Amino acid sequence: MATPSATAADPVALAAELIRAPSVTPRSAGALELVAGRLEAAGYRVERLTFETGGIPIPNLYARIGTDSPNLCFAGHVDVVPEGDTAQWAHGPFAGTVQDGVLYGRGAVDMKGAVAAFLAAALAHGKPARGSLSFLITGDEEGPALDGTVQVVEWLKAKGETIDHCVLGEPTNPDALGDAFKVGRRGSLSGIITVKGVQGHVAYPHLADNPVPRLVKLVAALTAAPLDEGSDFFPPSNLEVVSVDVGNPVFNLIPAQATARFNVRFNDRFSLESLKGEIVRRLDTAGAAYALDFQPGASQSFLTAPGPFTDLVADAVEAVTGRRPEPSTSGGTSDARFIKDLCPVVEFGLVGRTMHKVDEATPVADVHALTAIYGRIIARYFATFA
C-alpha cells in the first residue's frame, strides 16, 4: 500500500494560491517554487532546472518519489498568457477569487487548476509501495517553448531517467468534464514563400517586374486541393495561408517582393519530410520562381495507441463523471509533442471554454472531480502496471 502524505492539500485553495502568482511567461513569480515546496515537504526529490538557450532564464522542475518502475509522471505548466485589459475582468486576474462555486483567475483552466488537482491527488496517495510518481512542470509552455519541457526531456534522457507513462493536464474538455481526452496531436509546420520582382512605377510596367501575380499563382497551387481526407484517429490535414504581404502602402508603386506565410496542421498520413515534399511539389506546378523557408519549431504528429493505459484513464474519468471520454487528436500543439519521445502520453484536464479569455474560470466542483479522477488514475495505475 502507499504511504499517505501528511502534506495533502485542498486542490481549490492550492489552485487559488497558484493563480495569485502572476507567472506570465517567462516569469515564475513564485508559482514553480510553491509546487516545489509542497513536493519537497512530501518527500519528493526535486530537481530545479533552468535553461536559457533563448536568452532568458526559464525555470522548470522534475520531481520524483520512489526509485522503482513503473514511473507515472504528471506533466504541466505554471506559466500563463498575459491578462489583457485588467479593467475588463470582473475579478482580478491574479486574485484567485472563489465566488458562487467558481474559481476565477488567469490559469484557472490553463492550467493551474489541473496542476493543483494532480498535486493534491499525488499528495493524498503518498509514496507508492511499488513504483514511482513524478512531476514535470515547466514555465515555458505558453511562450516559445525553447527552454521548457523540450529541454527537460533531453535532460532526462541524458540522465537515463525512465518515465513509463504520462498524464498531461491540459484542458481537453469542450463543454463538460468527461467529454474528451487527448490521445494524440497533429503535427505543425510553418513556412514563408517569397517571390522577388523589380520595383518600379505602375505607369511603366515594362521597366519593372511585379511579383504579386506569381505569388497569387503559387498560393493557388498550394491550396488547390485538400492534403488528405483524414485517417483512423485524425481529422484531415489543414493548410492555412495566414498572411500575404508586399509592404506597399501606395498605389503607384510596383513592389520589389511579395511574401505569403502559411501553417499546416497535419495528421499521421504525413511525416515532416513527406509534407515538405508535397508542399514543394504543389508550388512547382505553378511554374513561378520562388524561395521557400520552413520555420523552426515544427513538430510531428503522434498517437498514443488504444490499450491498457488509455483504457485506464478513460475508466477513471467515467467512474467520476459518468461520461466515457471521447479520444481526440484535435486542437493545437502541447508539450505532449516533446513528452511522447519518452513514453506514452495522454492529456486530460478541465473544460477549456474560458482558457486565455477575460474572466478565465472553472467550477470548484470540477477541480474536486478532476482531483478524484487523478487519484483513481494513480491507484489503478500501480494496481495494473506495478
pLDDT digits (tens, 9 = 90+) for 257-289: 999 999 999 999 999 999 999 999 999 999 999
Q: What is the CATH number of the domain that holds 334?
A: 3.40.630.10
User: Residue 371 CB: number of other CB atoms within 10 A?
Assistant: 27
Q: Which residues constitute the domain of residue 59?
A: 11-185+301-385
Residue 1 included in any domain = no
Q: Buried b / exposed e across 238-270, counting CB within 10 Å, b at 16+? A: ebeeeeeebeeeeeeebbbbbbbbbbbbbbbbb
Q: Please tell me whether residues 178 and 327 are part of one structural domain.
A: yes
Q: What is the DSSP letter of 153?
A: H
d(C-alpha 111, C-alpha 328), whole Å = 19
Residue 322 included in any domain = yes
Give the model's pLDDT for residue 219.
98
State the cell numbers at 191. Answer: 513556412
Q: Which of 17, 83, 141, 278 is catalytic?
A: 141
For the chain, list residues with pLDDT below 70. 1-8
Give the model's pLDDT for residue 2.
54
Q: Please tell me whether residues 165 and 96 are part of one structural domain.
A: yes
d(C-alpha 66, C-alpha 130), whole Å = 8
Q: Please tell me whether residues 281 and 326 are part of one structural domain.
A: no
Give the model's pLDDT for residue 214.
98
Q: Please tell me whether residues 176 and 30 are part of one structural domain.
A: yes
Q: Please tell me whether residues 46 and 146 are part of one structural domain.
A: yes
Give the model's pLDDT for residue 297.
83
Q: What is the CATH number of the domain that holds 224?
A: 3.30.70.360
Give the model's pLDDT for residue 6.
43
Contact between 192 and 295 under an 8 Å Cβ cutoff? The reply is: yes
Q: Please tell me whether residues 290 and 313 are part of one structural domain.
A: no
Q: Please tell me whether residues 142 and 222 are part of one structural domain.
A: no
Pick the last residue of a domain from 294, 312, 328: 294
Pick the last residue of a domain from 294, 319, 350: 294
Pick the last residue of a domain from 263, 294, 325: 294
Does the active-site annotation cover 318? no
Q: Please tell me whether residues 96 and 149 are part of one structural domain.
A: yes
Does the active-site annotation cover 79? yes
d(C-alpha 5, C-alpha 123), whole Å = 5
Residue with cell 520562388: 290
Residue 74 included in any domain = yes
Residue 4 included in any domain = no
Residue 227 included in any domain = yes
Residue 316 included in any domain = yes
Residue with cell 520562381: 289
Residue with cell 508539450: 335
Residue with cell 523557408: 293
Q: Please tell me whether residues 232 and 338 are part of one structural domain.
A: no
d(C-alpha 38, C-alpha 43), whole Å = 9
Residue 321 included in any domain = yes
Question: Looking at the 3D structure of the chain, how many domains does it have?
Answer: 2
d(C-alpha 39, C-alpha 33), whole Å = 10
Q: Please tell me whether residues 309 and 289 are part of one structural domain.
A: no
Q: Please tell me whether residues 42 and 125 are part of one structural domain.
A: yes
Q: Which of 79, 83, 278, 366 is catalytic?
A: 79
Nearest residue to 74 via CA among 156, 170, 145: 170
